[in-house]
Amino acid sequence: MTPFAEPPATQYDLRFSLLGVPVRIHPFFWLVGLLLGLRGDLTHVKIEELLIWIAVLFVSILVHEFGHAAAVIFYRDRPWIILYGFGGLCCHHPSRHDPWRQIVISFAGPAAGFLLLGFVLSAIHAAEHQVGTVQLGLVPYPVFEPFESANLNFLIVQLIWINFFWGLINLLPIYPLDGGQIAREAFLLSDAGRGVERSLWLSVIAAAGVAVFGVVVLNEIFIALFFGYLAYNSWTILQRYRGFGGGFGGGF
């Protein structure tokens, strides 16, 4: 996930460089990871599983952002990465705006996660454990023959969950997800004048639809609240954009 504004630095940030790319981890990243790992249940906390979850979250999101960074480097720009809140941000100062270039950079993040998922499944297969899929609605979800270690199985399940489902969610045409940025650039290619406005309308509708689906079908209040917030956020951005003179009338 890529927020619009770079979060301010704090004295508690963890900083390092990996493969020549500067990385900064905001303390909110660890806090949100901890809360997600607890999932509201403080009575049955397993420390090993909580630590595994945070490690998987860290590695998966870092790989995702390095996918963006690799594409930025390919286009001869200098990236830097920030992990913050629910996700991360790959920053760079592009020399010029190119919709196709931005589409490639935006897609490279989820693609890196899918590559990591492929590596995990290949490693399971190499260990002579079966790998298959089960159908979850319209989505074929990867499953595997369990190992003897419960912690190893938990590690693999979380790696699959994050890099599969979060990768797909990130491709939804919703701001500020990668799919929202891809949709914006695609609209700009076809209509430079109204592309941003149309992508924001699509983001509002898509996020609201997912929020309703989350509460009505999945009975997941967190999903409903999260995507409801993204719908509201897209709506406020749309109103601000139109207020600055970017509007050309309502709807598509």
How far, in Å, CA of 80 to CA of 70, rounded? 11
Beta strands, E only, 14-108: 14-18, 21-25, 80-84, 87-91
Model confidence at 187: pLDDT above 60: yes
Per-residue pLDDT tens for 194-237?
A: 999 999 999 999 999 999 998 898 888 888 999 999 999 999 99
pTM for the predicted model, two decimal places: 0.88
Provide the 8-state DSSP code for 8: P
Residue of 198, 204, 252 whose CA lies nearest to 230 = 204
95 touches 77 (CB < 8 A): yes
* Beta carbons within 10 angstroms of residue 6's beta carbon: 12
| Angstrom distance (rounded) from CA 188 to CA 195 | 4
pLDDT in tens, 47-100: 899 999 999 999 999 999 999 999 999 999 999 999 998 789 999 988 788 999
The pLDDT, as a whole number, for residue 42 is 58
Using the predicted structure, report yes or no on whether residue 36 has a pLDDT greater than 90.
no
Query: 112-157: per-residue pLDDT in tens?
Result: 999 999 999 999 999 999 999 999 877 899 999 999 999 999 999 9
pLDDT on residue 250: 36
What is the structure's pLDDT at 236?
95
Residue-range domain boundaries for the chain: 173-245
